[in-house]
Amino acid sequence: MNPIPTRRHFLQTSAIAGASLAAAPHLFAQAAGADPEIKVALVGCGGRGNGALGDFLNACKILKLNAKVVATADAFPENAKRTGEAHGVPAEQIFSGYDAYQKALKTDCNFVLLATPPNFRPVHFAAAVEAGKNVFMEKPVAVDPVGCRAVIETGKLAGSKGLAVVAGTQRRHQQSYLENKARIDAGAIGPIRGGAIFWNGTVPWIRDRENGWSDTDYITRNWLNFTELSGDHIVEQHVHQIDVAYWFLGRLPVSALGYGSRARRRTGNQFDFFSIDYDFGEDVHIHSQCRQITGTYGRVGEIFTGATGSCLGGGKISGKDVSIPEIKVDSDNAMIQEHVDLIRGFLEKKPLNDAQRIAESTLVAIMGRISAYTGEMVRWVDVTRNEKSPFFNLTCTPTAADFEKGPITLPKEEAPIPGKA
């Protein structure tokens, strides 16, 4: 098995490797056996799935590699067909239904992009690794602790198979964030003593139920408003900042304690806002706030206060001047760069493997949600090791397996009440 490089090692070597690959595309033939072409399948042909596919193809152009879309899969036939036809996928490789991913994975794709709602991710990721595919998977990667732990296990299997796994947390591939992280590690702001992270914005979208839709159709189309499919917005959206906090601090929180509620959302069963205190130990706390209420003040980002300075995520950093290694990226667009890093790691036989890290960030977000829903403090051990905790085996239903068996039972469209949930 190839050792998995650290991001820093990868950055140091990537510029040279990129140049040599451009000059020698036959390296891919060596990396992928006899096959000289990148063959990609997309599972989940919605907004981000189509975006990720375009980003993947642009990454291949940057690396001067031939790439072909060989399969599309979606719960709904019209979505799989639209994307498949746009990329010249033969009709027999365009799949629909809740088992469509299995059919896409039987094709000769060597990369698969997983971009369905996150409740399906643990099952789709396990099937992809079982089938020996390199994976790009959108964040978040689960909606409950059981799903996160499954992703960690699958990630280990992917590592033992030498597969590349990259998650859609694009800030980890963005030059400004990479540079600030390097500056913090070099002591620019001293040890981080606290911080705050934000995703305050609007309700992204609502899909109102139409005549003729089954419960299964409705929840799948309106997934962004149901905790069972999205994890709620602290998980689905704010995981980006939670992941930056984990990355910049270099450790996980020991507990989450917070609250939230629903004020105006007229569909689904999620909260409108969360306010969570994450205790990172050593008296370091990060305050997380996220809100989806249209017409309110918007703020998305991170601030970390160190003993001798401060850092605004990928923005302004105040403190000591430090020297850091040069960080080169191939694209100003981090959503393309993440695919460059995915493919290059595979080609260099130093595959990135984000599975454990993104599952942990997802789980931290889930801890915050559970705390707000129940009114309880949720400790990291409760969702990872303490089998006696009521949260350890918490499972959101309907599960991915329920969808495959179908039809599902629609959860109640009402939000949890802390102290009673």
Ligand X SMILES: NC(=O)c1ccc[n+]([C@@H]2O[C@H](COP(=O)([O-])OP(=O)(O)OC[C@H]3O[C@@H](n4cnc5c(N)ncnc54)[C@H](O)[C@@H]3O)[C@@H](O)[C@H]2O)c1
Considering only 228, 236, 341, 360, the residue that binds ligand X (CB under 6 A) is 236
Considering only 115, 129, 150, 189, the residue that binds ligand X (CB under 6 A) is 115
Contact code string over 64-83 relative to ligand X, x by CB under 6 A: ---------xxxx--x----
Considering only 138, 228, 341, 360, the residue that binds ligand X (CB under 6 A) is 138
Q: Using the 8-state DSSP alphabet, how is residue 412 labeled?
A: P
Considering only 5, 18, 44, 84, the residue that binds ligand X (CB under 6 A) is 44
d(CA 327, CA 179): 7
Considering only 220, 227, 337, 361, the residue that binds ligand X (CB under 6 A) is 220
Told to check if 100 binds ligand X by CB under 6 A, we report: yes
Q: Please identify, using beta-carbon distances, which residue of 98 and 373 lies nearer to ligand X.
A: 98
The length of the chain, given as a count of residues: 421
Q: Counting Cβ atoms within 10 Å, is residue 44 exposed (0-12), middle (13-18) or buried (19+)?
A: buried
Can you read off the two tokens belonging to residue 383? 């969702």
Q: Please identify, using beta-carbon distances, which residue of 119 and 374 lies nearer to ligand X.
A: 119
Coil, strand or helix at 82: helix
Told to check if 111 binds ligand X by CB under 6 A, we report: no
Q: At residue 54, what is the residue type? A: G
Contact code string over 311-350 relative to ligand X, x by CB under 6 A: ----------------------------------------
Q: Please identify, using beta-carbon distances, which residue of 46 and 122 lies nearer to ligand X.
A: 46
One DSSP character per residue, 201-260 reads E---------TT--HHHHHHHTGGG-HHHH--HHHHTTHHHHHHHHHHHTS--SEEEEEE
Considering only 122, 168, 306, 368, the residue that binds ligand X (CB under 6 A) is 168
Measured over the CA atoms of residue 165, residue 185, residue 255 and residue 365, the dihedral's sign is: negative
Contact 142, 119 (CB under 8 A): yes
Contact code string over 369-408 relative to ligand X, x by CB under 6 A: ----------------------------------x-----
Q: Please identify, using beta-carbon distances, which residue of 229 and 343 lies nearer to ligand X.
A: 229
User: Partners of 299 in the beta sheet?
Assistant: 200
Stretch that binds ligand X, among 43-51, 182-190, 263-271, 311-319 (CB under 6 A): 43-51
- CB closest to ligand X, residue no: 46
CB 1 to ligand X: min, Å: 29
CA quadruple 329, 335, 336, 342: dihedral, nearest 10: 80
Q: Please identify, using beta-carbon distances, which residue of 216 and 310 lies nearer to ligand X.
A: 216
Distances (CA, A) of 330 to 19, 40, 134, 158, 231: 11, 21, 21, 26, 33
- How distant is the alpha carbon of residue 182 from its chain centre? 22
Residues making contact with ligand X (CB under 6 A): 43-49, 73-76, 79, 98, 100-101, 115-118, 120, 138-139, 168, 170, 220, 236, 403
